[in-house]
Structure 1
Amino acid sequence: MSSTPHVTVVGAGLAGLAAAVTAAERGAPVVVHEAHRTVGGRARTAQVPYRTNDGPHALYRKGPHFAWLKERGLLEPIAVLPLKEGARLRFHRKGSLRRTPPPGLLRLVVRRAERAPVDQDFHTWASGLVGPANARAAAHFAAVALFHHDPGALSAAFVQERLRRAAAVPPEARYPVGGWGPLAERMAAYARRLGVRIETGSRVDPLPVDEGPVVVATALPAAARLLGDASLTGVSGRTVLLDLGLRAERGDLFAVSDLDAPGWIERFTAQDPALAPRGASLLQGQVPIAPHESKADGVARAERLLDLGFPGWRERTTHRAEALSDGRTGALDLPGTTWRDRPAVDRGDGVFLAGDQVAAPGVLSEVSFASGVRAGRLAAERALAARTAA
């Protein structure tokens, strides 16, 4: 394969696998290099007894990647939150849990004709419609799809899209059964059936640009190092993740959304019991923290939400893990910017970029898929053109 131009993909996460599949479907030979022993990138899932993920693992059913996976038979099995569990969502406001969010937050969600501006921050724009308190509550609720300590400071258009997607009724979120890992493995198996060669435990440096086009599907800092391009930077969140295994109890809530400050606690076994042993629940807290705050600050806030939503959780805990996700939670658009202002997919000279912080539309993992598909298409076109010319 090395004697003829082929597509090299660096990284076998969701973006890299989407790029590899897309290029192979167009007839290009593809080799994927993954530094770890398994595929998935940040979409790996820990093994039993608790199948934890690096953050939430939801797919939004109205996103283009949902249809892309479904067309290839890669979506199933998929879990849907039961209606009875959805009714167990609570909102933390002014020190207590409530069954419903403030009406002002709901008005922002249902005002479909009101298009938020790109060049104004969300808090300023939303305050003019529903007042400062409701604007803050809405921004904090949207943090479940933002992972940022101050969502109100981001572009109003950017936050509005995520607020509407996260608060859609019926819910858009669907969950790959078993977490991200099985989905990544299905994508890898499909790629191999197309003839893609996936080499794990394989680090690439320098890039083999003399062998054909290259798709760099790594985290942005790693891509900057590989390409020697210091301009490859982006704004992302800083979030504390707290995974808990608990002995299950009847009546446990599905989730607690903090409207006083960004924070979210979710019981993922509400929709996918396979994530935990029989009789146990798997919870994850996501608490964005400011640059001056420590991981301990975020953990303390998560524990306060747990005290309210899951009384006695300490005595029920059978598993606990804490992590700080810094700059690894997707792109954020500041006022005056959109996804088009992020690092471009096409870097020139046959090098393409894919990942969740590059110039592609979508929410959360949708950016990885969209950029991967575009990078794979462009790389395949270049490889096939080079083979024809040769």
Structure 2
Amino acid sequence: MGHSPSPGRSTGITVVGGGLAGLTAAITAAEAGARVTLHEAHHTLGGRARTTEGPYAFNDGPHALYRRGPHWHWLRQRGLLGPLANPPLREAARFRFHHGGELRRTPPAGLFALARRSAEQAPTDVDFLTWATDRAGRATARVAAHYVAVALFHHDPGALSAAFVQERLRRAAALPPEARYPAGGWGRLSERMAGHAWNLGVRIETSSRVETLPDGPVVVATSLDAARRLLKDDGLRWPGGRTLLVDLVLRTHRGDPFVVSDLDAPGWLERFTAQDPSLAPAGEQLVQGQFPIGPDTPRAEALARAEHLLDLGFPGWRDRTVLRREALANGRTGAVDPPGTTWRDRPRIDRGGSGIFLAGDQVAAPGVLSETAFTSGITAASLALKALAGVATGGA
């Protein structure tokens, strides 16, 4: 349970939420000399960047760190990037595409030609499918929309803003690939961030659910749903995706692919032990996938697509399964921007002079996937520091 400091007394900055956004905010504020207390309702830090403890190190769904993002440099400057696991060339060559009902070694030629267009060429107020069809034809536009679902976790990327989708398509299809993988799973990254925060003097309280906001500037770095309940603000809403997450441990088979990208419908399977064998014991491999579905689509439909893709890419997988688990992620995979909107239209970080600031992956900050959490965490902390300085000097 969170505590409430004495009314009227500035006690530093409070951060609610110990995921990537909260840890980034806490580090930023502490580096500037503020006293920071971080509350995390869960018994461990990391949020969606948690990794299960061995012998199988599952992330909360497929995760990758894009090396051109602003958080890459922020982490490296602080020595927090840590060792990275990247697939050897022989594994990268095992990339497969499900197209026309078959597995193929190469995608349709127009996919990467379309992906090379800059996001600045794509309009905000037109949906991606319409814009891409005008430039590459209907078939290529649909393939591109399905491919980019790996960076969206959304069942219909073609219906979203063209500018929003094109930025993600360009980065997801970049050559050489931008994706990198923290060795040992994303939990190792959040552990390094937590250790750095601790060394800076951040007071970290886990299993500490805040129900009443304390005095002083507060950074609310939770999911948007949790922030809406905590702040009693029904306006804190923004669309996201709904995705079936599938985790499998399979006995190793030499012919298994590294990635299977579904181009006939949004879907993705990735063998994470291809780049990081430490995620599972010898002789076993860890496969994670995500299969987006619409808000009213039965979970069974996504599961059927997942199993069909597994049948094609991982023959005999049922007999080789050591461990299997599934989860439905609803609104837990970041914001998506419909036509006519940008990240600037999402819930604001500064809640209007109240000393409350939002951070997370569904708020008004730029970036792809976890980059939004990092960017908003830095911005929220900077605003909280200004608010704290105003309190200390008696200003507004």
TM-score, normalised by the number of residues in structure 1: 0.97
CA distance in 1, matches of 2:201, 2:67: 29
Pair 1:183-2:189 in alignment: yes
Asked whether the 8 Å contact 1:36–1:200 carries over to 2, the reply is: yes
The within-5 A match list for 1:274-353 is 274-348=278-352, 349-353=354-358
Q: Deviation string for 1:288-315 (max 9, x for gaps)?
A: 0112212221111001001111111111
Asked whether the 8 Å contact 2:119–2:166 carries over to 1, the reply is: no
Asked whether the 8 Å contact 2:16–2:221 carries over to 1, the reply is: yes
Match of 2:372 among 367, 370, 382: 367
Q: Which runs of 5+ in 1 are unaligned?
A: none
Pair 1:90-2:81 in alignment: no
CA distance in 1, matches of 2:225, 2:366: 20
Match of 2:155 among 149, 155, 159: 149
Q: Deviation string for 1:188-212 (max 9, x for gaps)?
A: 110011110001111111111x2x1
Using a 3 Å threshold, how does the CA distance of structure 1 residues 113 and 318 change in structure 2: closer, same or farther? Answer: closer
Secondary structure at the counterpart of residue 327 of structure 1: strand
Match of 1:265 among 244, 262, 269: 269
Moved more, 325-334 or 179-188: 179-188
CA distance in 2, matches of 1:153, 1:303: 26
Partner of 2:382: 377
Asked whether the 8 Å contact 2:119–2:163 carries over to 1, the reply is: no
Pair 1:121-2:127 in alignment: yes
Partner of 2:236: 232
Asked whether the 8 Å contact 2:98–2:263 carries over to 1, the reply is: yes
Match of 1:55 among 58, 61, 78: 61
The within-5 A match list for 1:4-19 is 4-19=10-25
CA RMSD of aligned residues (A): 1.4
Aligned sequence identity (%) = 67
Asked whether the 8 Å contact 1:5–1:387 carries over to 2, the reply is: no
Asked whether the 8 Å contact 2:260–2:313 carries over to 1, the reply is: yes
Q: Which runs of 5+ in 2 are unaligned?
A: none
Partner of 2:176: 170
Using a 3 Å threshold, how does the CA distance of structure 1 residues 11 and 111 change in structure 2: closer, same or farther? Answer: closer
Query: Cα distance, 1:94 vs. partner?
Result: 0.8
CA distance in 1, matches of 2:285, 2:309: 17
Query: Cα distance, 1:77 vs. partner?
Result: 1.4
Asked whether the 8 Å contact 1:51–1:178 carries over to 2, the reply is: yes
CA distance in 1, matches of 2:339, 2:118: 21
Asked whether the 8 Å contact 1:28–1:384 carries over to 2, the reply is: no
Using a 3 Å threshold, how does the CA distance of structure 1 residues 114 and 187 change in structure 2: closer, same or farther? Answer: closer
Query: Cα distance, 1:112 vs. partner?
Result: 4.1
TM-score, normalised by the number of residues in structure 2: 0.96
Asked whether the 8 Å contact 2:61–2:246 carries over to 1, the reply is: no
Q: Deviation string for 1:85-106 (max 9, x for gaps)?
A: 1111111011101111111212
Query: Cα distance, 1:113 vs. partner?
Result: 8.7
Asked whether the 8 Å contact 2:120–2:163 carries over to 1, the reply is: no
Query: Cα distance, 1:347 vs. partner?
Result: 0.5
Query: Cα distance, 1:384 vs. partner?
Result: 2.9
Secondary structure at the counterpart of residue 330 of structure 1: strand
Moved more, 246-255 or 377-386: 377-386
Q: Deviation string for 1:25-64 (max 9, x for gaps)?
A: 1111100011111111121111112111111221100000
Pair 1:131-2:143 in alignment: no
Aligned residue pair count: 388
Asked whether the 8 Å contact 1:57–1:176 carries over to 2, the reply is: no
Using a 3 Å threshold, how does the CA distance of structure 1 residues 72 and 234 change in structure 2: closer, same or farther? Answer: same
Using a 3 Å threshold, how does the CA distance of structure 1 residues 113 and 25 change in structure 2: closer, same or farther? Answer: closer
Query: Cα distance, 1:334 vs. partner?
Result: 0.3
Secondary structure at the counterpart of residue 332 of structure 2: coil
Partner of 2:210: 204
Partner of 2:85: 79
Counterpart amino acid of 1:160? Q
Partner of 1:27: 33
Q: Deviation string for 1:335-362 (max 9, x for gaps)?
A: 0100000000000210000000000000
CA distance in 1, matches of 2:242, 2:161: 18
Counterpart amino acid of 2:171? R
Query: Cα distance, 1:323 vs. partner?
Result: 0.5
Q: Deviation string for 1:128-149 (max 9, x for gaps)?
A: 1111111000000000000111
